Chains A and B, each alone.
Chain A
């Protein structure tokens, strides 16, 4: 069963705890520049959007890698780096349509989300539910239910309007 990180940007408060715990988990330091997840923020509009690797099925980063260093972990479905093969050419950084592959400025190497080997710290620490780690085939369920609720409410309003 494949699991994935589902982002609901409307629930994100922009606190960046996900960036902190990600860099501590992977590097033993707090440093957002070394985090695999990044919150993009439009401060004057109050918009915050976390961005992280989607572990694409047809992954561009994997396709463009000249040394086959981007590899798929068949067991979990995630895309990881084989650092023995990686030459640091950063082609994958450019190729990713989400900007979710980055270059660690301290260790000078490619980094992207590895789902913390099955226990992603970002979702574990996110109390608002903006980042959830769920079964890929269930990923749409919460959004679907919220949409259904809105639909139901608007139908109720229509009914009320027709009664009055």
Chain B
């Protein structure tokens, strides 16, 4: 049968491993990946555990459609209590790891305890072994994977690993696979480090059975054609996500010089097309035809000749617009360093540019920076700070702690200049002109984030009938919907719908670029229902999948509430309300978010969820979804 992959409980303290089948009832309730992880997290962690202590549970999983003929079904999900926010820790990444995990016989790993000495896991055709990691501890991301392959004598091994940042417990360390696939946000790499776990290596030759192979092949072909025919996919396949930076910066939607401007001027040298000269083709994740990663060689400077992949929108933001730089090589080098150290490029860009604003304001001085000139636009200082944060040297040690802890250590009114939600830094986009996007980051379950509920297509000013077609299925919606992205009306429903959509893809294991994220005509609930049937035999209607996403979103909410989250955490920093945008096209200039209108949006957003005015799920909501007796410890 198709759904025969197992769950393994691994205790690093005493070295025990227990494997179990995953009952079909659990699949019908939470699918896999992020959905089932939401359940497992709530059931395997006690309230109030130290995120960096042995009692935190680290979950690694594959979505239920990973490695099947569902286009771009390559996603690995990793979850734990976050050392950055103290709330939900959660990250979703592409690459080749999750399919290989399934070829090796597993869908979900629950890792607890702490290894006595640096270790890594070796998972091979149903077997799990805890091995000595002394040869790879201290190594960068790419060397670690190469050494593991050499040690185990198999070139085809796939691994997730941490770099120096994870070992040094940088609170926004990533888990990485291959050259640049990043499990970023919420510091899951630090959880690996805290458990003395350097890497998880997998390799398998076990089948992923396709229940209806002929139909699955033809349906995959149809969906691939639908996706690759879209202009947005073609642009992405040529320039990667850099194209988003170019499109949004030209309007004035890019956070610049920390949060002082909303557009990087004089950007000719770092427009997406400028990167094509250093690139020599594109690469992609398992089974994906969009191929959104550029392969490039650093053209000059200290790292001349080094191969890397990307950079993405976030690295262009982190190493150009946020610190006010316009040097292409700095972006490429910064991208390479965060990939090899294994650090969240988004978080580090935000932390460094925040420090730059503090330096400009005189809150940080040369004494604090050990003589480093942290002026905006100083490219060398940006790169130097990346090293110092990864190694936790000087000011880097403070910035490695993330927004809230760093602001507490620096003191004065440094917190005033922070741009975060729930203690996690905001993306490099500027949401002051776009209420829908602002609501999304204010309420996202893992802290400020664009990959949890952002209705990115809102930026296209789509006609209302098109919006209605998208946003009124698989559940009916006849409330307002508005085309203009500066409006507030109807946007709370779009954010709610996208939250459901993204939970569904994260549980299926499909990339967000293959659903309604950047393209309005992409597959969603209807298509997933068919993909599930053809590939796994599971018969779930579009509405069933919607309900599963709702259950999983509520499990994440319950987790956050249990850790002390309240309504006031679903909110933006004052700068969004008090400092108007200065640049960009006329529509975007002089915009702020209105406090009262945002409050109303949040009220509506909670109401759609069946939550009360404090953002707590009502008992009847939990009962309707069948999650009113959690933790239920069924798996």
Which of A56-64, A65-73, A84-92, A120-128 lies at the binding interface?
A120-128
For this complex, 26 residue pairs linking A to B, each with C-beta atoms less than 8 Å apart, are A13-B281, A15-B283, A15-B284, A15-B285, A15-B286, A16-B96, A20-B287, A21-B69, A21-B220, A24-B213, A28-B209, A29-B208, A29-B209, A30-B99, A30-B207, A31-B103, A31-B206, A33-B103, A34-B205, A44-B146, A44-B307, A46-B307, A124-B221, A125-B221, A125-B289, A128-B291
Bound together, the chains give a CA A20 to CA B96 distance in angstroms of 13
8 Å CB contact of B289 from A43, A44, A127: A127
Bound together, the chains give a CA A48 to CA B281 distance in angstroms of 11
Contact B280 A46, beta carbon cutoff 8 Å: yes
Contact A17 B289, beta carbon cutoff 8 Å: yes
Residues in chain A near residue B286, CB distance under 8 A? 15-16, 20
Contact B213 A25, beta carbon cutoff 8 Å: yes
Bound together, the chains give a CA A150 to CA B216 distance in angstroms of 41
8 Å CB contact of B213 from A13, A28, A127: A28
* B140-183 contact mask (Cβ, 8 Å, vs A): 1 or 0: 00100110000000000000000000000000000000110000
How close is B64's CB to chain A, nearest CB, in angstroms?
A: 14
How close is B75's CB to chain A, nearest CB, in angstroms?
A: 14
Residues in chain B near residue A106, CB distance under 8 A? 205-207
Task: Judge if B224 is at the interface, Cβ distance under 8 Å.
Answer: yes
Chain B 201-218 interface residues, beta-carbon cutoff 8 Å to A: 205-210, 213, 216-217
Residues in chain B near residue A128, CB distance under 8 A? 289, 291
Contact B103 A13, beta carbon cutoff 8 Å: no
Task: Judge if B67 is at the interface, Cβ distance under 8 Å.
Answer: yes
Contact B210 A44, beta carbon cutoff 8 Å: no
Size of the chain A interface, CB-CB below 8 angstroms: 31
Task: Judge if A32 is at the interface, Cβ distance under 8 Å.
Answer: yes
Residues in chain A near residue B67, CB distance under 8 A? 20, 30
How close is A55's CB to chain B, nearest CB, in angstroms?
A: 23
Bound together, the chains give a CA A20 to CA B178 distance in angstroms of 20
How close is B629's CB to chain A, nearest CB, in angstroms?
A: 37
8 Å CB contact of B228 from A28, A32, A127: A127
Contact A14 B283, beta carbon cutoff 8 Å: yes
Task: Judge if B516 is at the interface, Cβ distance under 8 Å.
Answer: no
Q: Interface on chain B toward A: helix, strand, loop, or mixed SS?
A: mixed
8 Å CB contact of B208 from A15, A31, A46, A124: A31
Contact B280 A27, beta carbon cutoff 8 Å: no
How close is B518's CB to chain A, nearest CB, in angstroms?
A: 18
Q: Which residue of A is nearest B71, CB measured? A: A17
Residues in chain B near residue A28, CB distance under 8 A? 209-210, 213
Residues in chain A near residue B289, CB distance under 8 A? 15, 17, 125, 127-128
Most buried by B among A13, A45, A105, A121: A13
How close is B73's CB to chain A, nearest CB, in angstroms?
A: 10
Contact A43 B224, beta carbon cutoff 8 Å: no
Contact B282 A13, beta carbon cutoff 8 Å: yes
Task: Judge if A10 is at the interface, Cβ distance under 8 Å.
Answer: yes
How close is A62's CB to chain B, nearest CB, in angstroms?
A: 27
Residues in chain A near residue B283, CB distance under 8 A? 13-15, 46, 48
How close is A105's CB to chain B, nearest CB, in angstroms?
A: 5
Residues in chain B near residue A48, CB distance under 8 A? 283
Contact A30 B210, beta carbon cutoff 8 Å: yes
Chain B 293-317 interface residues, beta-carbon cutoff 8 Å to A: 295, 307, 309
Q: Which residue of B is nearest A38, CB measured? A: B156
How close is A99's CB to chain B, nearest CB, in angstroms?
A: 12
Residues in chain A near residue B142, CB distance under 8 A? 43-44
Contact B291 A13, beta carbon cutoff 8 Å: yes
How close is B221's CB to chain A, nearest CB, in angstroms?
A: 7
Q: Which residue of A is nearest B206, CB measured? A: A31
Task: Judge if B288 is at the interface, Cβ distance under 8 Å.
Answer: yes
Contact A13 B284, beta carbon cutoff 8 Å: yes
Bound together, the chains give a CA A143 to CA B283 distance in angstroms of 21
How close is A140's CB to chain B, nearest CB, in angstroms?
A: 22
Residues in chain B near residue A15, CB distance under 8 A? 283-289, 291
Contact A30 B307, beta carbon cutoff 8 Å: no
Q: Which residue of B is nearest A104, CB measured? A: B205
Residues in chain A near residue B224, CB distance under 8 A? 125, 127
Top 7 A-B pairs, shortest CB-CB distance = A46-B295, A33-B205, A29-B207, A13-B291, A30-B208, A28-B213, A127-B289
Task: Judge if B428 is at the interface, Cβ distance under 8 Å.
Answer: no
Bound together, the chains give a CA A27 to CA B207 distance in angstroms of 9
